[in-house]
Structure 1
Amino acid sequence: MDISVVKYSGEDTGRKISLSEEVFGIEPNDHAIYLDVKQFLANQRQGTHKSKERGEISGSTRKIKRQKGTGTARAGSIKSPVFRGGGRVFGPRPRNYSFKLNKKMKELARKSALTYKAKDNNIAIVEDLSFDAPRTKEYIKMLNALSLGDKKTLLVLPEGNKNVVLSGRNVQNTKVITADSLNTFDVLHADNLILSESSLEKIDNLLKK
């Protein structure tokens, strides 16, 4: 699949680049995508939630009323979960939500996500960006030139570029990452991918294994 390379000003360079069939043209695997996105979201959870159970509540352990003859249920402690201010039954405890996913499965998921974007023609390839200084206006100007100003976009760079990252940081619905940080969730979450020309080689090297 051939895609035209454009300048970040929106002008066509007259060159075309071919997307690898091994990365952008496979048979998508929806279950692999599901597992990879599930793992990504699980890894974002801090797991620091905690509520106090009856053994952790501060309060008297005195029996609050006699066992029989009250006409109501027996009660042995004010810390019982049935009373206001008592402990919570089976409340949340700190835990780790992350789980293991095989490397080949993650690679398959990323290839599948990229394939979907390629099939829907939601990939734009631009010449390598180079801002002299952080310029948010220039970044917005680039998005408008590519007719992506009102879309969720993901810009993929070959390597970290502080000026480009800072330029896009305050722009709504856009994200800037490097090729080695490419993940299934970010690819699917974006409406359109903007790939820096040099990032394609890195993506191919990472996923052509």
Structure 2
Amino acid sequence: MKVAVLDITGKDTGRKVELSNEVFGVEPNNHAIYLDVKQYLANQRQGTHKSKERAEIAGSTRKIKKQKGTGTARAGSIKSGVFRGGGRMFGPKPRNYSFKLNKNLKRLARKSALSIQANDKNIFVIEDFNFESPKTKNFVNVLKALELDSKKSLFILGESSANVYLSSRNLKGSKVVDASGLNTYSVLNANKVVISESSLEGIESNLSK
């Protein structure tokens, strides 16, 4: 699949690049995509949720009423979860939500995501670019030139650029990653995927293994 190379003003440079069919033209595997997205979202969870249990509540330890003869259920502590202000029964505890996936499955998921976007003609290739200083206005101008200012976009750079990343950080609908930070969720969550020329080789070499 051949794609025209654009510059940051949105103009065609007259050059074209070949997108590898091994990465951008595979049959999408929906289950691999599901597992990789599930892992990505699970890894975002902090897992610091915690509620106090009966033993952690401050309160009296005396028996609040006699064992028999009241006509109601027996009760030994005001800290019991059945009383207001008591500990929570079976409440959440800190835990790690992350889980492991096979490397080959993750590669398949990312190739599937890129192939879906390529098939829908949602992939742009642009010349490598950088900014002299981090300014949001500079990145907004690039988005406008590419007609992406009203769409969710993912920019994949060959090498991490602090100025480009910082210029995009305040923009809710845009995300900038380098080729090594590519993930299935970000690819599918974007309306358009913008790939820099220098990142193509890295993407294809990483996912063609």
* TM-score class, shorter: over 0.9
Aligned to 2:26: 26
Deviations 1:137-189 (CA, angstroms, capped at 9, x unpaired): 22111111111110000000001111111111122300111000000011111
- How big is each residue's C-alpha offset from its partner over 1:36-88, in whole Å with a ceiling of 9 and x where there is no partner? 01011111111111111112212222110111221221111111111011111
Q: After TM superposition, give the deviation of residue 132 of structure 1 in Å.
A: 1.5
**CA distance in structure 1 between the partners assigned to 2:31 and 2:107 by the alignment:** 13
TM-score of the two chains, using structure 1 as the length reference: 0.97
Letter of the structure 2 residue corresponding to residue 26 of structure 1: V
Amino acid at match of 2:162: K
Task: Identify the residue that residue 190 of structure 1 maps to in structure 2.
Answer: 190
Sequence identity of aligned pairs in percent? 64
Match for residue 75 of structure 2? 75
- Matched with 2:146 is 146
The runs of at least 4 aligned residues of structure 1 exceeding 2 Å deviation read none
Matched, 1:131 2:131: yes
Paired with 2:139 and 2:50, the residues of 1 have a C-alpha distance of: 42
Amino acid at match of 2:114: L
Question: Deviation digits for residues 104-162 of structure 1, max 9, x if unmatched?
Answer: 00000000000000000000111001211223222111111111110000000001111
Unaligned 5+ segments in structure 1 are none
Specify the alignment match of 2:98 in structure 1.
98
| Alpha-carbon distance in structure 1 between the residues aligned to 2:47 and 2:163 | 34
Q: Does 1:39 align with 2:39?
A: yes
SS of 2:65's equivalent in the other structure is: coil
What CA distance in whole angstroms lies between the structure 1 residues aligned with 2:206 and 2:10? 28
Q: TM-score, normalised by structure 2?
A: 0.97
Structure 2 unaligned blocks of 5 or more: none
Alpha-carbon distance between aligned partners in 1 of 2:150 and 2:183, rounded to the nearest angstrom: 23
Pairing 1:51-70 to 2, within 5 Å after superposition: 51-70=51-70
2:83 maps to amino acid? F
Q: What residue identity is the alignment partner of 1:25?
A: G
